[in-house]
Structure 1
């Protein structure tokens, strides 16, 4: 494993140390500093930018030929780190402990070391990593947030006010859809120079704002959590698949949520986000899509079709079908047969 030791702040020094370790140069574009990973070490880049009040952003978009550990070690109080992994898997360790914490895709950590201890990030070999890290210098950032911390979660309040790094802090979560969209926008903004700097600073503030909301939501018991996480999308797709498989006897929203491992609120939010529909509206849509397809095939009668989608009342089925397709199922079936006979 290759080991690199870098300073923690300002981010210019981080990039400068990395450039020296990789025996390459770094570039400065409107105080955004970047190194391109030399081919003998891997591919991609690492870049960082500092904003006012001790606030900065690091981005890793890289793959290394050999595993790599970066030690953020400096004889000073280390910054708070808000780390987001949108591709690949990395590990984190505090210098004062031996415990490794894995940060998988769509996960994030908030970490704060004690006193003058630092952080270690471990990158695997031959794996594409996309990682963003908000770097917050505690005392400088105090000017930005001291106006009204009383409305922030008590644990985050203590974290931001721990200017002398007396307490170790670690939080591990799955980041939200809102966070995912915000982070994705960092990669495709197409701006340069001063406008890029303004954009990145605005997005970094937005990431921090979303993070506070995500963190506070995570402190609630599972049934009361309302914010949809990127990782929840797997559960939403599983729920949609279950509905399609069991059209004849669909689960209730409560049972469906329980079966895929989420709660009804997040299930509804996930369906709205993914399909633009509530769970019940999505269910009716796939029911009617099935009914239309079966009527076009002409192998089942209307009673059999309505039974297959769990609707025993034929008149109710007819109303739903007409509302969706502006024609009742009986007339639709006749129209299909008429068109078919004309073609032959």
Structure 2
């Protein structure tokens, strides 16, 4: 098993060490570092960024060609690490050859450790993994007591002293949706940085919320869905996004995903907070807004291209979401273009 020891907590230094071990080439866009790997070590991307708030994020979207363990040593000022596994699974231990805890697909984890403690993350070969790590650094002075960092210290440290602690949470599909949005950010420069920071903060909020909900109940709220069923719900959601114009029914989706109607509806309420039909309608309206804004299609052409058969019905739900009719929205876009 290959071992990589990270000697620095700074994103720039981390990527230099990863590049030295895995090869590839580092690209930088504003504050974001991206390492693309396509060699005998594996295939995929590693991304990372540090924000002014003292919060950093690191994402592995990789398939490694051999087992390896990533070892990091905390400093005297120990951070709080929030993790979410969007694909595959990884394991963690405090120190080498210690008890391992597994973070599976769609699970969130929160980690704190003692000062100068080794933290080890284990990656298996030939397993597609996607894990997002959000690291919250501790405050360094009395002037920081109103910050999020300070509030999280009070929540996860005992008497302001960190200990070895790991929490593995319930399945959470809402976070998976935010991870997808993070991957879909196509802008460059400062706009990209701001959008990534906003989504990272949203993911952090959802992970804290998940922890709070789990702590209120002795039985974790995983529902009745298995990891395989959750994966199927995620894939069906993506299918709807890719083909909003198709006249999809609950029966069609159940057959495609191998799920019962009750499992399908439960999954969509977990991931999107709405029923299947409501989600299809939401996707279509978002697609329509994009077409009205960015194409020369007239309203009738937009309506039929996204699968609606009634223009009046489309106008009603569009106005409910955007507080104006499709015609008014089109006129505003044309006026702005002029």
Q: Same fold (TM over 0.5)?
A: yes
Instruction: Give the corresponding residue for 1:79.
Output: 79
Q: 5 Å matches for 1:43-192? A: 43-73=43-73, 75-95=75-95, 98-139=98-139, 146=146, 157-159=154-156, 164-165=161-162, 167-192=163-188
Deviation digits for residues 243-294 of structure 1, max 9, x if unmatched? x9xxxxxxxxxxx99xx9xxxxx799459734348xxxxxxxxxxxxxxxxx
Q: Distance in 1 between matches of 2:191 and 2:23?
A: 31
| CA 1:160–1:16: 2 relative to 1, 3 Å | farther
1:234 maps to which residue? 229
The match for 2:203 is 207
Are residues 163 and 40 of structure 1, via their aligned partners in 2, closer, same or farther at CA, if it must alter by over 3 Å? Answer: farther
SS of residue in 1 equivalent to 2:216: coil
- How far off is 1:176 after superposition? 2.3
Matched residues in 1 for 2:138 and 2:153: separation?
Answer: 13
**Deviation of 1:47 (Å):** 1.6
More deviation, 13-22/96-105: 96-105
**Hey, what's the Cα distance between the residues in 2 that align with 1:169 and 1:73?**
15
Measured after TM superposition, the shift of residue 13 of structure 1 is 1.6
Distance change (3 Å), C-alpha of 1:233 and 1:273: farther
Establish whether residue 218 from structure 1 lines up as the match of residue 219 from structure 2.
Answer: no
Query: 8 Å contact 1:89–1:105 — kept in the other structure?
Result: yes
User: What is the RMSD computed on CA atoms of the aligned residues?
Assistant: 3.9
Distance 1:230 1:82 in 2: 23
Structure 1 residue runs of 4 or more that deviate by more than 6 Å after TM superposition: 141-145, 225-230
Verify the 8 A CA contact 2:93 2:119 in the aligned structure 1.
Answer: yes
Structure showing greater radius of gyration is 1
Local SS of the residue matching 1:216: helix
Whether the 8 Å CA contact 2:173–2:270 is kept in 1: the answer is: no
Q: Distance in 2 between matches of 1:100 and 1:64?
A: 20
CA distance in 1 between partners of 2:68 and 2:228 (Å): 31
The Cα shift of 1:122 comes to 0.6
Cα distance in 2 for residues equivalent to 1:144 and 1:267: 40
* TM-score using structure 1 length: 0.62
Residues 270 and 31 (structure 1 numbering): CA distance in 2 closer, same or farther, change over 3 Å? Answer: closer
In the TM superposition, residue 222 of structure 1 has moved relative to its aligned partner by 6.2
Q: 1:110 to 1:36 in 2, by over 3 A?
A: same
Distance 2:268 2:66 in 1: 44
Runs (5+) with no aligned partner, structure 1:
245-255, 261-265, 278-344
Distance 1:59 1:197, change over 3 A: same
CA shift for structure 1 position 65: 0.7
Give the aligned partner of residue 334 of structure 2.
Answer: none
Residue 273 of structure 1: aligned partner = 274
| CA distance in 2 between partners of 1:28 and 1:84 (Å) | 24
Relative to 1, partners in 2 of residues 1:103 and 1:229: Cα closer, same or farther, differing over 3 Å?
A: farther
Shift of 1:50: 0.1
How far apart are 1:14 and its partner, in Å?
1.3
Q: 1:131, 1:174 → 2: CA distance?
A: 16
Deviation at 1:27? Answer: 2.3
Q: Distance in 1 between matches of 2:176 and 2:29?
A: 26
- How much has 1:214 moved relative to structure 2? 1.2
